[in-house]
A = this chain, B = another copy of it.
């Protein structure tokens, strides 16, 4: 079950003020929380406008009590057609999926869905800046894996190749996110590198 936290909620107000040395990643936050908080930082500092999309819900039954707000009484989670995050950063369309794993040596492709890969591919074709943020929870390491690398690996897996991306491959083909306080996960620094590598190809 996915809860969408209210926008702008500072989830780590306590963890930031706790005593002793704070180790990056030692906050007990999920990757989603870390990204949401980073996005709130980016928005409030006018660096970028990036949001997590709401979880799509199929609504079946709604009650409209008098003098009270509507209550959804029956609904189901739906598969999203897209990635979870998108937005705009200095004229660039940003689109990414975020996944975490407790594996230590590789990242299983089964964490992704076919439609997410297809969506990233479609957005790449429109000159979007597309990637996956991968967190190795036990290693406390975060990588920005360019979408094209992920798509190529996915295609190769379909043809019988490896079903899991080795850490060594990720280390080689991604950009690692360095520790930060403001924001916690300064992934747009990496985006900037991706943009510079890609060059300007806006239509």
CB of A59 closer than 8 Å to a CB of B: yes
Asked if residues B126 and A88 are in contact (CB atoms below 8 Å), the reply is: yes
Residue of B55, B56, B62, B91 touching A93 (CB-CB under 8 A): B91
Report A51 CB to chain B, min CB distance, Å: 6
Bound: A74/B127 CA distance, A: 40
Report A43 CB to chain B, min CB distance, Å: 7
Chain B residues within an 8 Å CB radius of A62? 1
Asked if residues B51 and A201 are in contact (CB atoms below 8 Å), the reply is: no
CB of A16 closer than 8 Å to a CB of B: no
Chain B residues within an 8 Å CB radius of A91? 92-93, 126-128, 201-203
Contacts known (A88-B95, A125-B46); A51 close to B82, Cβ less than 8 A: yes
Asked if residues A88 and B57 are in contact (CB atoms below 8 Å), the reply is: no
Bound: A59/B56 CA distance, A: 12
Chain B residues within an 8 Å CB radius of A87? 86, 93
23 A-B pairs with CB atoms under 8 Å apart are A4-B58, A4-B78, A46-B122, A49-B119, A49-B126, A54-B56, A54-B57, A55-B57, A57-B75, A69-B76, A69-B77, A72-B74, A73-B73, A86-B87, A88-B123, A88-B127, A88-B128, A90-B203, A91-B126, A91-B127, A92-B202, A200-B202, A202-B202
Q: A residues within 8 Å of B by Cβ?
A: 1, 3-4, 7, 43, 46, 48-49, 51, 53-59, 62, 69-78, 80-82, 86-93, 95, 119, 122-123, 125-128, 200-203
